[in-house]
Every structure is written in structure tokens, then in C-alpha cells.
Amino acid sequence: MNAVSRPAILNSILILFFTVTITVAQEDYEVREVAFEGNKILSSDKLSEQILTYGTGSFSKLILRKDPFHFSREVLDTDIKRLKIYYQKQGFLSPQISGSIFDEDNEGKTVKVRIAIEEGQPTLVGSVDFEISSLDQSDKETVKQAIVNSRDHQLLKSGVRFRDRAAQADKEIILRALNNKGFPYAKIQSELTVTDSADSVDVTWKIDSGPRCQFGNVEINGTRYTSEDLVIENKTFEKGELYQRQEIEKSQQQIYSLGVYHIVSFNTQLSKNRDPEIPISVKVREAPRWSTKFGVGYGREDKFRVFNDARYLSFLGGARRLNLYTKHSGLEPYHINLKLTQPAFITPKTTMTISPFLRKQTEPAFTIRRYGANASVKHEFTRTISGTFGYEFEQVDLDLESIAEDPNMESELNRVYNKSSVTLGLIRDSSEPMFSPQTGCFCAFSTKFSGLDLGSDYHYAKLTADLRRYFSFATQVLALRLRIGSITSYDDHGYIPVEDRYYAGGAKSVRGWARSELGPKDIESRPIGGLSVLEGNIEIRYPIYGIVSGAVFYDYGNIWLQSATYHPDELRYAAGAGIRVKTPIGPVRLDVARPVFDDETKIQIHISVGQAF
């Protein structure tokens, strides 16, 4: 027996020796790739986010300047433990996970790592029950009703895969439902019972609702130049009313939207003996009363630009604010705008603005000077939907030498003319984040009626729709946009002022053409503009490295001289690609595009701030 065991022992020692030697040799080798095998439910991208080990190819090292990861067996073993914990949180209680090297280059000192996974069967939710303890039967019935009302929002339901995060989310959903029914002292615990086969888990929520409560006194701290009455008038609840968490959140949002506070914090003052009257403490931090924003930049269209926006808060008391905006650029040699803003006008969700202005515009199609004033009212119907109503009167001084000859105008044009206009607008905006949307949609509809017999020289209606949609796929974003509009004249001559016509082409339009260069022109190749517009954009945005991202796009569109006229066979097309660099004021954008399927072949380069749409 000893004669047989000695060679076996010797072989084991040799295998162990060579294994240790190979492992030691592989330490500090650069990892070229980390491959996951066997995972079906959880994606490789999600799994990669859970571990430290990562691979770097030649492109990542040389172009993106990404530091390589050096292989470590200790780190890989820790990564395996992380993955097991992550799988368990996702409802897979007994995953089998192992890591190994499947490709080794001793000369180049690189390795590739394989992580093999057997997910096993997920643990499903069996039953979901509730055990309620309340002070009296009426409170208990109210709690039951709150739970029933929140069931549609709860994630853990019979037959779905159990996840820790879903359990935490459901706890918050139930707690919120109880808080909104007057139970700020409510406490919730979950009890999980796993079956012997570990293929399902029963969930029992144990709820202590505490007493039903009312709002108490409101104490305000932090005001200096604003009045405490401003906070009191804009909260949405009163002392003695049923306590509701949603009213606190609504009040906080409403007061913050006044624009005079940097911080608005509502704190519910709960007592140890669970008093039914709940005092509320409000802490505010006011924004600086005087502030100014100054900016300098450059774009291919507006060239050198500089602006200043000076703001004075609590003008004449309350939440009124006064802004003086001044700007100079190649497109606007001067723009001066004084704006008075009154938040909470008539209703808490309504804002009124009054704004006299003076500006000069130098566009490819015209040069004009304008001065006048506008007044508008904006109402927020919901968090994502708002409507506007405005009136504007202005006098326009048109440089007749700067415009193209208009075939629709038979008589001599007025160099100076007045416009009196009413505008109506409706916006639905669920896109986010703000500067570079990745999900949601943006829909804007606007109508302008000019010529109300208040000294207006031209009479027409302008209707425009701007529709945008954003889809997120892993690390990429698909962005779509459609803009369509029409102008109808009510004058016999049919003339529409040049500044209100539609133009296409440029950094935020069809990027294969320069600003306003797409569409009809006169014999001197000056843009005429049109009464109908149809244009669209298709763009795929993707990360490159750090704050740098890229995009490829396909644009189309055109302008027509007649009202409500759209000819698909006359659409012009352009394609291109670009780079974006993330900054605090939005992405700095460089786009290169050229027309396709077109006799025009000139390449256009656009430099600007902000996404194209």
C-alpha cells in the first residue's frame, strides 16, 4: 500500500508545485479580457459592475489612455465572493461561480480571465401577507385600505423573483402609503420564510401603524431678507389637518420653486410618546440677494459671444426677482432684456413675467433691430406638463438691403413696422437628465397670432410642433426629433416678416448645411425662408472615455414657400458624427456632417454648447 501511495503523493506534490508556480507567474500579468459564461438572467454588463477585475485592449490603452489591470488571484477570489452576494440579493440563493485563466501569453505577460457561472433556479415569491397592529379598529381598516391602494406599486408579488432591493422598495412604498393616511409613526418589518427546497419565499409584513395624527405648529428658521409669511403662504397644509407626507413634499417643492431659496428643508418633529399633533420645522437658506452670471464662449454660428445676467431677489418684497440680461455675439450684436418675474401669481403653480427688450439680430437671411415688451403667464399643470399664454408688442427696423427679394411681395416693403402678437404654448417634458437626456420625451406645441389691430402691420398665424424621444440601451442613447410647422397669412399680399419665417440648416437643425442655408434662395443665393418646415434628426450617443462621448447622426428636412406644404420627395438628407465633452454648463459639441444623396457635397463643421436636441 505504501508503494502505491508514494507515487500518488509525489504526483500531488508536483501538481501543487506547478500550479503554485503558474499562479505566481501569472500574478501582475495585464488582464486583456474578462469573459462571463453561463449567466442567463443577469447580464455581463451588470456583473462587470460588481467586480474589480477588468480587461483592457490595445484601443483602451493607447487611445483612451485607460490604465491596465494587473491580475491578482486574491482580488479574483474576492470578486467571486462579491458576485455570489450579488446573485443572492437578486434571488439566486445557491449560485456556483468560479474564476480561471483561459488564455495566457507569457511573452507579452497578459492573461484572459473566464468567470463561469451556474445561476441555478431563482427563488420566487410565494405568498405576501400583512400583520397589522393598530390602536383601534377604524385605524386598522384605514391601514388595510392604504395597503390595498399601494399593491399596484409594490414589486414583490406571488410568482416573481425575490430581490432584496425590491423588498426595500416595497417597504418604502407601504410606509409612504401609511404616512399619507396620517400615520407618521408607522413602523414596518419584513419576515421571510424560505421553503425547504429554497425555491420560494413567503413574505410577511409586520406593521405597527401608531396613532393617526394631524399637522401641528410650523416653525420657520433661516429667513433674513425674506419674510416668514412667504413660506407660510406657500405651504399646502394647515394646522389641524390630517398629516400627509405628500403635502410636506409638495410644500417643499413649491417653496423651492419660488427661486429665492438655495435650501428648503421640512422636518417632521416626532415625539417619543407619539403625540398625535405633529409640529413641523422648516429650515431655509436664502440665495444671495444680488448675483450675476458671466459667460464667454465661441461657436461656429454665433462666433465670439459674451453675456451677463444680473439678478436681484425679493424685488419690492416677496418672491419677485429682477433680471438684467445683456449679450453680444455674431448673431446678436446687442441684446438687452430686463425681466420682472412674479412666482405664485394668482395660484402657487403660476408664474408671471414682464420683459421689455432691445436687440439687434444679424442672421444669414436678415438684419433687424427690435424693441418692445412682452408679458407672459406660465402655469404648471403637473411636474411634466406646463402651459403658457403671452402677449408681445414690438417695433421692428428692417435693413432692406440684407434680405432676399420676396416673390410674394408686389408692393414696397415697410422698413419700420409694428407687430402685436398673442402666443399660446403647451409643453410636456419628461426627459432627463437636463443637459443630456437619456430617457423620456419632450413635446412642445406653440401657436402665435400676430395682428390684433393694435398697430400691427401684418396678420398671420404660426403653428409649430417640436417632438423629441429618448431611449436608453445599456450605455447608448437613441435620440429622435421631429419638427413641423406652418404659417398662414391673413393679408391680401400674403407677406410674412422675415424674422418669423422658418429657416433650416445649422448646428441644431439639418447639420449638413450651414445656418439657414437649407431651403429656397434668391438669385444672389440669400435665404428666403418659408411658410412650412419639416425636419427630423436621428442620433445615437455613446460613451468613449470619462467625460468624452461620441455620436453618429442622420438628419433630414426642408423649407417650402407655401403654407402647410410638405413634399417628402423634396426632403434633403445629411449624415455625420461628433464628439461631446461634458462640462458643468452642458456638453461642448463638435459635429462634422455633409449632405447625402445630394448634389451639395460641402462638409459642415459645427461647434456649440449643448446637445443638438
Return d(Cα 276, Cα 143) in angstroms, integer: 16
Q: What is the mean pLDDT of the chain?
A: 90
Question: Is 314 in contact with 260 (CB distance < 8 Å)?
Answer: yes
Tell whether 298 is covered by a domain. no
In this structure, are 554 and 589 located in the same domain?
A: yes
| Ordered strands of the 261-268 beta sheet | 214-221, 277-286, 261-268
Label residue 226 exposed, middle or buried (CB < 10 Å: 0-12, 13-18, 19+).
buried
pLDDT of residue 51: 95
Tell me the C-alpha to C-alpha distance, in Å, between residue 402 and each of 229, 321, 330, 335.
Answer: 54, 38, 15, 19
Q: Are strands 334-342 and 321-328 parallel, antiparallel or unpaired?
A: antiparallel
Tell me the C-alpha to C-alpha distance, in Å, between residue 497 and each of 406, 422, 450, 466, 485.
Answer: 11, 16, 11, 22, 16
C-alpha cell at 224: 433674513
Tell whether 375 is covered by a domain. no
Give me the percent of the chain exceeding a pLDDT of 90: 76
Return d(Cα 29, Cα 73) in angstroms, integer: 11
Boundary (domain end) residue, out of 208, 231, 255:
208
The average pLDDT across 526-549 equals 94
What SS3 class is residue 458?
A: coil
pLDDT of residue 601: 87
Boundary (domain end) residue, out of 227, 252, 286:
286
Residue bearing the bigger pLDDT, 204 or 139: 204
Angle between helices 164-179 and 137-150 in degrees, nearest 10: 130
Return d(Cα 581, Cα 548) in angstroms, integer: 5
The average pLDDT across 507-536 equals 94
Q: Quick: pLDDT tens for 3-45.
A: 445 555 555 554 444 444 444 557 889 999 999 999 999 999 8
Q: pLDDT at residue 410 above 60?
A: no
Tell whether 168 is covered by a domain. yes
CATH number, domain with residue 575:
2.40.160.50
C-alpha cell at 208: 405597527
In this structure, are 22 and 88 located in the same domain?
A: yes
Tell me the C-alpha to C-alpha distance, in Å, between residue 463 and each of 377, 449, 565.
Answer: 19, 9, 13
pLDDT of residue 6: 59
CATH number, domain with residue 156:
3.10.20.310
In this structure, are 25 and 146 located in the same domain?
A: no
In this structure, are 408 and 511 located in the same domain?
A: yes
Question: Is 276 in contact with 213 (CB distance < 8 Å)?
Answer: yes
pLDDT of residue 546: 83
The average pLDDT across 387-401 equals 95
Tell me the C-alpha to C-alpha distance, in Å, between residue 282 and each of 217, 254, 274, 285.
Answer: 11, 13, 20, 10
The average pLDDT across 204-219 equals 94
Q: Quick: pLDDT tens for 465-474.
A: 999 999 998 8
Quick one: CA dihedral 591, 444, 249, 176, positive or negative? negative
The residue range of the domain holding 11 is: 2-118
In this structure, are 78 and 184 located in the same domain?
A: no
Tell whether 371 is covered by a domain. no
Q: Quick: pLDDT tens for 227-264.
A: 999 999 999 999 999 999 999 999 999 999 999 999 99
The average pLDDT across 278-297 equals 94
Label residue 343 exposed, middle or buried (CB < 10 Å: 0-12, 13-18, 19+).
buried
65: left (phi over 0), alpha (psi -120 to 50) or beta: left
Tell whether 198 is covered by a domain. yes
Q: pLDDT at residue 581 above 80?
A: yes
Which residue type, as a one-letter code, is found at position 270?
L
In this structure, are 562 and 443 located in the same domain?
A: yes
In this structure, are 41 and 58 located in the same domain?
A: yes
Boundary (domain end) residue, out of 118, 153, 184:
118
Q: Quick: pLDDT tens for 264-287.
A: 999 999 999 999 999 999 999 999
| Ordered strands of the 124-133 beta sheet | 124-133, 200-208, 187-194
pLDDT of residue 283: 96
Confidence grade of residue 77 (pLDDT, cut at 50, 70, 90): very high
Q: pLDDT at residue 586 above 90?
A: no
Residue written as grid cell 412666482 = 343
Number of structural domains, the chain? 4
Tell whether 357 is covered by a domain. no
In this structure, are 128 and 199 located in the same domain?
A: yes
Tell whether 452 is covered by a domain. yes
Quick one: CA dihedral 193, 47, 160, 167, positive or negative? positive
Give me the percent of the chain exceeding a pLDDT of 70: 94
Q: Quick: pLDDT tens for 414-444.
A: 899 999 999 999 999 999 998 899 999 999 9
In this structure, are 188 and 232 located in the same domain?
A: no
Return d(Cα 218, Cα 231) in angstroms, integer: 10
Question: Is 310 in contact with 324 (CB distance < 8 Å)?
Answer: yes
Question: Is 129 in contact with 203 (CB distance < 8 Å)?
Answer: yes
pLDDT of residue 412: 67
Q: pLDDT at residue 161 above 70?
A: yes
pLDDT of residue 228: 93
In this structure, are 166 and 218 located in the same domain?
A: no
Q: Quick: pLDDT tens for 99-123.
A: 999 888 888 889 999 999 999 999 9
The average pLDDT across 112-141 equals 89
In this structure, are 204 and 249 located in the same domain?
A: no
In this structure, are 460 and 567 located in the same domain?
A: yes
Tell whether 279 is covered by a domain. yes
